[in-house]
Every structure is written in C-alpha cells, then in structure tokens.
Amino acid sequence: MQYRQAKLGRLFFVRLDHKEDIMKALRMLAVKEKIKTAVVHLLGGSDKASIIAGPKFSEVPPTPNFKALKEAREILGFGTIIQKNDKPVVHLHAAFGRDEQAIVGCVRDNSKVYVGVEAVVMEIAGIKAARTYNKELGTHIVSF
C-alpha cells in the first residue's frame, strides 16, 4: 500500500445536460479549470453508455468485458481525475439501473446523459499523483 496525505481544494458543482458525453464533459472541466487531481461523485440519468463490466476472466493482465447499454437508466457513480502525460484522465465507475436490473462498470467515452446528471468534483490539493502504466499488471495505476 502507498498513500499520501492531501488537502481538499476547490469544489465544483456541475450540471451535465441531455445527450452530453459524460466523460468528455468531465475532462473538459478538468482542462478548463486546471484540475490535476480530484474525486468525482455523480448521479442522474444515462442514455446510451459504454462500460467495462469487470474482466472476462480472473487473469492478469485483464481482458476487458465490454458492454454497450442502449437504453435510459439511472446512474450513480464515483471516480477520480488524475493526470497521465500532463492530461487529465477520468476513471469513473458507475452503477446503471433500470427496473429491477443493475449493472456496474468502468464508464468509457460515448456514454450520454439522459435528461440530466449532477456531478460534484472535489479537487485534491497538496499531492502529486499520476497515472502510469504497470507492465506486470497490464493496466494503468496511480503513482505518487
């Protein structure tokens, strides 16, 4: 385990509108406001979404289990914004629900807002964190 102590920086309350791309909008906010490191909470509705619903198998490196969600669903998510090569990367996991069915996954681009999404972005100050590729695990991890 590795960790660093940090402080809470700026807070942003964000409204994402119908048909907006969730991931692109969060990245645009991070670029515009020069957010280097943050946590993201969101809730609302999702129309179409692309997610990775875990690995296909319990192996390293993981083989992503891509899923395309094609209808409106409720969404509740939590994620981070951390720099990779001096650009913000949004890592967002969310639960998507409709009727009595739910699916959880890592949100990808082309995931659209249905009606509206509210996001709270809390900047983390006082640390340097970056997303780096871990060859052994075959994925990106947080480095300090």
Domain borders along the chain are 7-143
Q: For residue 112, what are the β-bridge partners?
A: 21
Q: How far is CA 47 from the centre of its chain?
A: 16
Q: Are 5 and 90 in contact (CB under 8 A)?
A: no
3-state secondary structure of 80: strand
pLDDT tens-place string over residues 6-20: 999 999 999 999 999
pLDDT value, residue 73: 98
- Residue 94 Cα distances to 23, 51, 59, 129, angstroms: 12, 9, 23, 23
Q: pLDDT category, 86, cuts 50, 70, 90? A: very high
pLDDT tens-place string over residues 109-141: 999 999 999 999 999 999 999 999 999 999 999
| Domain boundaries 7-143, corresponding CATH code | 3.30.1330.80
pLDDT value, residue 10: 98
DSSP 30: H
Is this structure's pTM higher than 0.85?
Answer: yes
pLDDT tens-place string over residues 19-78: 999 999 999 999 999 999 999 999 999 999 999 999 999 999 999 999 999 999 999 999
pLDDT value, residue 26: 98
